[in-house]
């Protein structure tokens, strides 16, 4: 009996969202970890030790996870969820985006201004250029 996995492309690693229960690519999820003190900590860079808890990168999903106590269920232990968790995650994501744009600017890869962007998009190599801006921001 086949599970239908042959037809599915697996380019990106997938993780399961604790709110929806769906397996999604990591790029659409936010990782959380539990500190030794039992506090839920956002792990935007995905480098903190321990088992990750994944939530869809959506404010409604994050608020649902906090409201329903899904972090404790996923961690299989009692955890403390800070009241400012949603705001903290938003601030960390904004900071990461700003850092990515800053790195692109320092590398000379960021293009600003209507005319410059239009000219860049008109080039043949703009579509398939390696090191695409979206890849640099996610890095």
pLDDT, tens digit (0-9, with 9 covering 90-100), for 50-81: 999 999 999 999 999 999 999 999 999 999 99
Within a domain: 39: yes
> Which residues constitute the domain of residue 35?
1-82
pLDDT, tens digit (0-9, with 9 covering 90-100), for 108-131: 888 889 998 888 888 865 555 455
CATH classification at residue 72: 3.30.1230.10
CA torsion, ordered 44, 97, 84, 22, to nearest 10 deg:
-50
Query: How many domains would you assign to the chain?
Result: 1
Within a domain: 64: yes
Within a domain: 102: no
Within a domain: 132: no
Within a domain: 116: no
Can you give the pTM of this predicted structure? 0.74
Written as one string, the DSSP assignment of 72-83 is HHHHTS--B--T
Within a domain: 29: yes
Within a domain: 93: no
Within a domain: 115: no
Nearest to 55 by CA among 80, 30, 74: 30
pLDDT, tens digit (0-9, with 9 covering 90-100), for 81-115: 999 999 999 999 999 999 999 999 999 888 889 99
């Amino acid at each position: 009996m086949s599970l239908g996995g042959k037809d599915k492309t697996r380019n990106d690693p997938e993780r399961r969202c604790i709110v929806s229960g769906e397996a999604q690519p990591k790029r659409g999820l936010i990782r959380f970890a539990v500190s030794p003190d039992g506090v839920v900590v956002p792990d935007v860079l995905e480098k903190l030790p321990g088992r990750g808890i994944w939530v869809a990168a959506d404010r409604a999903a994050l608020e649902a996870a906090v409201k329903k106590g899904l972090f404790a269920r996923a961690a299989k232990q009692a955890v403390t969820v800070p009241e400012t968790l949603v705001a903290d995650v938003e601030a960390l994501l904004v900071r990461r985006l700003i850092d990515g744009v800053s790195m692109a600017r320092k590398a000379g890869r960021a293009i600003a201004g209507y005319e410059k962007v239009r000219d860049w998009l008109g080039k043949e190599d703009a579509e398939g250029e390696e090191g695409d801006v979206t890849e640099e921001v996610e890095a």
